[in-house]
Amino acid sequence: MIKLRDLEYLTAIDKHKHFGKAAQSCFVSQPTLSGQLMKLEEQLGLQLVERHRRNVMLTPAGEQLVKEARKVLQAAGQFESCAKALLDPFAGDLHLGLIPTLAPYLLPHIMADLNTALPNINFFLHENQTKVLLQQLDEGKLDVLILPYLEEMDKFESYQLFDEPLMLATQKNHRLANKKDLSLSDLHDEKILTLADGHCLKDQAMGYCFSAGAKEDNSFQATSLETLRHMVASGMGITLLPALAAQGNLASDTIHYGQFQAPVPVRGISLVIRPNYSRMQCVRAIVASVRKSLNGIIT
């Protein structure tokens, strides 16, 4: 009978393309992992792995079966989670993923309340870009995501948490600083500093800017909101920043944060889970707690 552990070894080989690294990730010795994979190949009557001097790779059969292995492992994890949830849906480990443009600004507002509302949940926090988080959620490595909702997330279930306004960050002496009735149309012909590709905030912010006739400043692309903030402070340009990121810096001596009149540019922040996720009571408690924590902070 095929063991789940053997499937874990196969997926580890696919990920690391190296026996030593794969064994290390599975917390076993290299001979143990290699030997078990050979037994699996004998059992199936198929060669799954091409063994080379410096690396390994999956055969076409291995490539096809590793996809099925991931499905089996995910189902097994879901089975175990469901059993634990039946014992106590409000206890145990919960892995929460957030994106870098949200995590450092949202977590200080919500974690104290979450720990109070769910004292027996051990929260593990993971920060990464949207594409990676969605893949990890799909593979069962993460339980819940909090991030801006995008159309490509329609295969998952989502719960709207709040709309976060985007604010215009400029130097104090910029022509748009302190402008009354600031609107998106005021960005016409302006060059906008942006994040690098891969950050969903870039696409969301520039969508608003392009519709207003603004242009992307391609002279530099930042890897974080803090880099963008420093670029604005040094007079290199203007940008749109989420309200939570701006709140802690509203008293800046060098940057002015302008609020747009309606229609206000926003990014909708949602909680995202896999379909048929077993711990729905816990999910509902998290949604309620986050909404309550942000009440009055985001208007």
Domain count, the chain: 3
Among residues 86, 105, 120, the one where a domain terminates is 86
Beta strands 255-258 and 157-171: pairing type?
antiparallel
10-residue averages of pLDDT along the chain (299 residues): 92 92 93 94 94 87 94 87 78 93 95 96 94 92 94 92 94 88 92 87 87 88 90 91 86 86 93 92 96 86
Specify the pLDDT at position 198.
Answer: 78
CATH number at residue 25: 1.10.10.10
Residues 69, 137: one domain? no
- Predicted TM-score of the model (pTM): 0.73
Are the beta carbons of 148 and 200 closer than 8 angstroms?
A: yes
Q: In terms of domains, do 155 and 128 share one?
A: yes
Mark whether 152 and 244 lie in a shared domain: no
The tally of CA atoms less than 13 A away on the side-chain side of residue 134 is 16
Measured CA to CA, the distance from residue 74 to residue 6 in angstroms comes to 14
Question: 155 and 115 in one domain?
Answer: yes
Say if 209 falls within a structural domain: yes
144, 277: one domain: yes
Domain endpoint, select from 86, 113, 134:
86
Domain closes at, from 61, 86, 111:
86
Integer Cα distance of 160 and 41 in angstroms = 46
pLDDT for position 250: 67
- In the block, tokens 């291995």 appear at 62
For residue 73, is it within any domain? yes
Q: Which amino acid is at 282?
A: C
Residues 130 and 8 in one domain: no
Residue 226 falls within a domain, yes or no? yes
In this structure, are 232 and 190 located in the same domain? yes
177 and 151 together in one domain: no
245, 175: one domain: yes
Residue 127 lies in a domain: yes
Residue 169's domain comprises: 164-266
> Are residue 134 and residue 274 in the same domain, yes or no?
yes
Pairing of strands 92-98, 144-148: parallel
Cα separation, 5 vs 25, in Å, equals 12
Q: What CATH number does residue 157 fall under?
A: 3.40.190.10
Residue 299 belongs to some domain of the structure: no
**The predicted structure's pLDDT at residue 260:** 93
Residue 98 lies in a domain: yes
Q: Are residues 44 and 189 in the same domain?
A: no
Domain shared by 283 and 152, yes or no: yes
Residue 55 domain-assigned?
yes
